[in-house]
Amino acid sequence: MSSGRDAFVAHTSGSQDRSPAGNRGLLVNLTPGATVISPNRQHSLTFDREGRLHLYFRQGLTYKRSLSSELHLRFQDGGRQRRQLPSDEARSIFLEAYALAGEVRARAVGELEVRLCEEILRWTPESLAAERRRFLSCYRPISILPPDQYLSIVLQATEGCSWNRCTFCSFYMDRPFKTKSPVEFREHASGVKDLLGAGAALRRGIFLADGNALALSLRRLEPLIGAAKEIFPDRPLFGFIDLFSGDRRPLEHWKRLVDLGLRRVYIGMETGLDELLAFVNKPGSAIELRNFVEELKGASLSVCLILMVGLGGREYRSAHARASLEVLKKLPLDDSDLIYLSPFVEQPGSTDYSERRTKADLTPMTEEETEAELQRMAQIIRRLDLKVSRYDIREFIY
């Protein structure tokens, strides 16, 4: 992409002085997985080892680029705000970010100079935008990931969700459930490797997607995991599992997956209130969840449970919280496990939840009420010596 490098040279400026005084205010962090450059206190840029922009901090604004070159903005303005930028605005930000990197080149020496010239400054907004075509050539849309897995390598062993009937969820409504054959999966994983290139060094683990890939039998999973480990060696494995599918697997199933590299499973607990689970058409119960978690812990797996704050509206607020906290108290969790509290986001027109809620005469909680409840529950969970974190699906980007 030499033409991309030339395109950004026009935006560079600054002295050729490479003395320590010439680098005053410049902070650089060169890691095996990323290049981080802070030319001043107001700006910070992170690039993967292919030279693609990953993060750009600018005076309180956070821009994050996805692998498909969508650009998302997060900022504070009377609360947490977020939006995806239209293509023309994204192009302007890409130009700005790479112009800053170009200005730093005049002061760069050693490894930084090499990375700027050989990796970073070869990109243009057009070549970045072209990454979307490459992304779509090997991925179906990646609907959601747990926040601690945003920097994993996502490999879609399955497409869709085998249940796909929860009234609140629209993540996989656009596709039927499908399991990739070993040949299809190897082709997919090889395509992901080509897409990531040296940028794979930024990504720590492998997340087996989509919704509940871990529900597959060992006969189906083992060849897929084998291909994943061959193409991306020495990385731990993670994935979603639903209670309905997972509870039917024997302990030996999970022990074998641990032997193959599985380290943590993610369960959409949603609520500890059985009545509310039934209302949103989510399979399982509090007792079944407890039995399943005990089995997973018996296999030496780490567990992450995801709770929705605001599900069921004001009328269920107290009962939902009380039952969920009671379930958590009884689970054999330790410091390797994690609880996610996710603000419930109603999606009128996309799911059946709104219609059911209206018929049941339930009142949605406001965003302020949901946030206050999330903070209250987080404090209680921390007092149980459990790790807890926020999981806002509106901020997901891969």
Rounded CA-CA distance 303/301 in Å is 6
DSSP output for 168-184: T--TTTTS--EEPPHHH
C-alpha dihedral sign at 252, 332, 270, 387: negative
If DSSP codes are grouped into helix, strand and coil, which group holds residue 283? coil
Which two structure tokens, joined as six digits, stand for 82? 């977020």
Please give the CATH number for the structural domain made up of 139-395: 3.20.20.70
Rounded CA-CA distance 222/387 in Å is 31
Q: Which residues have CB under 8 Å from 211's CB, separation 6+?
A: 143, 158, 160, 161, 162, 163, 164, 171, 172, 240, 242
What pLDDT does 24 receive? 66
pLDDT tens for each residue of the chain, 398 residues long = 433 333 333 233 333 333 334 466 899 999 999 999 999 999 999 999 999 999 999 999 999 999 999 999 999 998 889 999 999 999 999 999 999 999 999 999 999 999 999 999 999 999 999 999 999 999 999 999 999 999 999 999 999 988 888 999 999 888 889 999 999 999 999 999 999 999 999 999 999 999 889 999 999 999 999 999 999 999 999 999 988 877 688 999 999 999 999 999 999 999 999 999 999 999 999 999 999 999 999 999 999 999 999 999 999 999 999 999 999 999 999 999 999 999 999 988 889 999 999 999 999 999 999 999 999 999 999 999 999 999 999 999 99
Paired strand residues for 265: 239, 303
What pLDDT does 348 receive? 86
CB contact at 8 A, 53 and 97: yes
What pLDDT does 350 receive? 84
β-pairing verdict for 262-270 and 302-309: parallel
pTM: 0.91
Q: CA dist 226 to 171, 185, 186, 204, 211, Å?
A: 27, 11, 10, 18, 20
Give the type of residue at 145. Answer: L
Express as a percent the part of the chain with pLDDT over 90. 85
If DSSP codes are grouped into helix, strand and coil, which group holds residue 146? coil
Rounded CA-CA distance 24/104 in Å is 11
Rounded CA-CA distance 67/45 in Å is 16
Report the half-sphere exposure of 199 (CA within 13 A, side-chain side).
22
Phi-psi region of 166 (alpha: psi -120 to 50; beta: other; left: phi over 0): beta
What pLDDT does 23 receive? 62
DSSP output for 217-247: -HHHHHHHHHHHHHHS-S--EEEE--HHHHT
Rounded CA-CA distance 10/112 in Å is 20
What pLDDT does 337 receive? 98
Q: Determine whether 10 is exposed, middle or buried from the number of CB atoms within 10 Å of its CB (0-12, 13-18, 19+).
A: exposed
Q: Determine whether 246 is exposed, middle or buried from the number of CB atoms within 10 Å of its CB (0-12, 13-18, 19+).
A: buried
Rounded CA-CA distance 149/321 in Å is 26
Q: Which residues have CB under 8 Å from 67's CB, separation 6+?
A: 131, 135, 195, 196, 398
Domain ranges in the chain are: 2-131, 139-395
Rounded CA-CA distance 312/352 in Å is 13
What pLDDT does 175 receive? 87
Which two structure tokens, joined as six digits, stand for 270? 């949603």
What pLDDT does 246 receive? 73
Q: CA dist 157 to 108, 216, 220, 368, Å?
A: 43, 9, 10, 38
